[in-house]
Amino acid sequence: MCLVSDLTDSEFGVLRDYIYDTIGINLGNEKKSMVYSRLRTVLKDGNFENFNKYFDYLKNDRTGEAVTQFIDKITTNHTFFMRETDHFDYFKDTVLPYIEKEYGTAKDLRLWCAACSSGEEAYTLQIIITEYFAKDPSWNKEMLATDISTKVLDKAVAGVYSDESLRPLSDRWKKEYFRKTGNDQSAVADSIKRNVVFRRFNLMDDRFPFKKKFQVIFCRNVMIYFDSKTRDELVNKFYDNMEQGGYLFIGHSESLNQTKTAFKYAMPAVYRKV
pLDDT at 44 (0 to 100): 86
Give 140's DSSP letter: B
Q: What are the residues facing 186 on neighbouring strands?
A: 161, 180
Helix H or strand E segment including 274: none
Same CATH fold assignment for domains 9-74 and 85-272 = no
Residue 90's contacts (CB-CB under 8 Å, 6 or more residues apart) are 267, 270
Nearest to 14, CA basis, from 55, 45, 47, 74 = 55
Place domain 85-272 in its CATH homologous superfamily. Vaccinia Virus protein VP39 (3.40.50.150)
As a whole-number percent, the residues of the chain with pLDDT over 90 amount to 65
Q: Span 64-87, mean pLDDT?
A: 82
The CA-atom distances, in angstroms, between 79 and each of 42, 134, 225 are 25, 27, 15
pLDDT over threshold 80, residue 4: no
Q: What is the reported pTM?
A: 0.85
Q: Which one-letter amino acid corresponds to residue 89?
A: D
Q: pLDDT (tens digit, 9 = 90+) per residue, 188-220?
A: 999 999 999 999 999 999 889 999 999 999 999
How far apart are the C-alpha atoms of 177 and 192, rounded to whole Å? Answer: 7
Q: Output the CA–CA distances (angstroms, integers) from residue 225 to 40, 171, 228, in the order listed.
A: 22, 35, 10
pLDDT band at 129 (very low <50, low <70, confident <90, very high): very high
User: What whole-number distance in Å separates Cα of residue 72 and Cα of residue 149?
Assistant: 5
pLDDT band (50, 70, 90) for residue 2: very low
The pLDDT of residue 17 is 93
Residue 273 dihedral angles phi and psi, to the nearest 5°: -90, 100
**Which residues lie closer than 8 Å to 38 by C-beta, 6 or more apart?**
73, 74
Q: What integer pLDDT is reported at residue 78 of this predicted model? A: 65
Give the DSSP H/E element, type plus range, for residue 144: strand 143-147
pLDDT in tens, 76-100: 666 778 888 999 999 999 999 999 9
Q: Provide the residue ranges of all domains of the chain, joining segments of one domain with +.
A: 9-74, 85-272
Whether the per-residue pLDDT at 34 is higher than 90: the answer is no
Instruction: Provide the 10 A C-beta neighbour count for residue 197.
Output: 12
Taking residues 13-40, what's their average pLDDT? 89
Q: Span 9-74: which CATH code?
A: 1.10.155
